[in-house]
Structure 1
Amino acid sequence: MRTIPFLTSLILILVGLPAGQTAHAKQLYKWVDEHGNTYFSDQVPPEHVQYGRQTLNEKGRVVNSLEQAKTKEQQELDKRLQKLRAEQQKIIAEQKSHDKVLLSTFRSEADMETMLKGKLQTLDAQEGVLQGNLKRLQNLLEGKHKKAAVFERNGQKTPQAVLDEIKGLEGQIDQAKAEISKHLEQRAETQNSFKADIERYRFLTQSAGQGQAQNLSDKTAQIKAADELGLYDCDNDSDCTKAWEIARRFIEHYSTTGNDVANDKLILSRAPVNTSDLSLSVSKVQGRDNHQQLFLDIRCQQSSAGDELCAGEKVKAIRKSFRQFIEQGLAADQ
């Protein structure tokens, strides 16, 4: 076996001139190493088997292609990518299901306001009961303190039973206050959730009309998933090519580790070393309706501190800014 430089072997293939052993081969393998060197040979040496290669017939035409072997980091990225895509579908499905319930349950915003008012009235009534119980306990405690004060004024030791009653009432009061605090949080959560639903209902029905509300729900659910996960949907090949270069700038800006792999399908940063490291990567994958998608992935150090960093607001903000960063970059390039 021998390898032949690119230009020489290409000429031999095209004009059909003999070239020793290679001239008699019915097919050749073509591959490119990490330095950009192109090789042709009828055999692939062991030290080059990890590179992607093409099989050429006697006319120099590509008859088969084999992708480059993936590194351990790339294999791990593929697994995370599958998880992200599953999470994407879950977010979209949950939002669409929620929108469907809103549109099928309520006929108008007034219906929603009426239901919210009823729920808040019920919660306020429950709060009144809790406040009444707290007041009752406070009155009992006040009575026990007065009783203990009588013993003290008479120079007598307060009986242990009275002290135990005071301690018990203080514990009940603390518990009653905690219940009221929890109840107020529930009320605020109910009110905020309903107000968000009302705004969502208004957006779906007034922005597109009742008949097109479901289509708008589908579109906005996809945008929500994109922002939560770090995803950009390409409009076309030209759009994706430009977006890919903008995504490269995004990776360079936010990743604290150096570049490891960079090609037309994957930009991969080196693995995180320190607890504060953020290793970003972006993959170009086939999405819905054969549209290409750019998926952002963020890795942190495998430690409790790294896990906390990746689950924190900083990483969430970076993911959410990915789509907007690309869209702003595309707008600036126009």
Structure 2
Amino acid sequence: MITFRFAILTSITVVALAIASQLHAGLYRWVDENGKVHYSDSMPPEVALKGSDVLNKQGIRVMTITPPKSKDEQKAIIDDEHARRIEEQRNKRQIAADKSLISAYRHERDILEARDENIAIVSAAELVINGNIHRARLHLLHMSSLTDKQVSDLKKLLHRNYVSLFRYDHEREGIEEKYNGLLLRYRHIQRHGPGATTPMGDSPDSDVPFLSCHNVHLKCPDAETCGRWWKRTKQYLNENSDMPLLIETDTLLSTQMPIQREDISLSAAFEPKGANGYGEILLDLDCGDISPSGERQQTSHEGECFSQRSKGISKQFRPFVTGAY
């Protein structure tokens, strides 16, 4: 056995020496910095790092000596490998998440129903808050008979309720974003299978519900913009509300409650630093009619607006205030 291994090693050594001898006896072909091709039986040291071809006696290339990779090239190779592994792990996680999504929802309508159920919970809470706002504003109809403290307390109550509407709006947005994202992913999985990359810019078309017209929510990026938008909000209320401005503070604008069926009353709240550090402005529409006793005579929800005019006021608020027509 030892003799056999020695024979193999001897053969390998002989072959290696033969190749080395052949290369040594050959020519080097290399290109200088000016692009000129050279042939020589030895390699200049400064060229050795740039690579060359080795030719045999017949001028046939028998080997190509590649230059060693630079530190930047070596780092790039390592980075590429690291990125490949990260992408591989991401793909595995995506496949697992996709399979979980498919097992949780058998049909698209299951996702839509889950979304609508969660939005309905938020809408019910918003309805309660709007009722509180409505009743507080009714009390302010008789502001002349109230004490200063009662008026101050009602203003604070109004602002607290509007802040609650800000919070519920964020919750609604989160629900819509979550389930509309699930819906997009579900459709993509059905077409392309688990793990496939979702193209950017997709949207669930008309599946996103419209917010009710009485609630328009703006987010301003900085204090200067917020101040400018709040001034334009006051201008918008004065130009579009059928009722006179009744309350004006740094964070609250409220016109008098509507009296006639066609009357529209506008209110607005300002939160200088809301969610995620953004300033926030909320427009609230309230529609008639109110009897002299303060009771609503129409059958709609408290303050709910359904007319085309109210929808137009709601729709034009954002471009008017922000200037983004």
Q: TM-score, normalised by structure 1?
A: 0.40
Query: Which is greater in Rg?
Result: 2
